[in-house]
Amino acid sequence: MDAMEAERVELDQAHAWQALHMAAAAACRGSTPSGGTGPSGNAVLAKENTRSCTAICGASPFNLCDADVSISGYKGQAESYSQRLGHFYNYGCGTAGNTDVKFDEVKAGGDDVF
């Protein structure tokens, strides 16, 4: 792979991760009873696959957990109004949720976003 192609792949990965992060923020906002309140901005943090969100948030400045969401979207433009475009699940805050290492972004490879 030449340097320009490698740079394009790296940029594609960065944009894919950014899109996933924005979707995660929207999913978290939609999963909270209040929609996110308080004097400060709310946050989405990377979820270690073996820890609960209560533990992860509790060890950060964003110490209240509202949701532990998993999201996935399918490639391509919708072709019908009944086509499934993605899926989501809210595991709640008190358990580790899905412990599959594929759900741990920090441990994932850069191209695992695809």
The reply to whether the predicted model has a pTM over 0.85 is no
Based on the number of CB atoms within 10 Å of its own CB, is 69 exposed (0-12), middle (13-18) or buried (19 or more)? Answer: buried
Distance from CA of residue 101 to its chain's centroid?
14
Is residue 42 within 8 A of residue 64, CB to CB? The reply is no
For 47-95, the pLDDT digits (tens) are: 999 999 999 999 999 888 888 998 989 989 999 999 999 999 889 999 9
Q: How many Å apart are CA 94 and CA 91, to the nearest integer?
A: 8
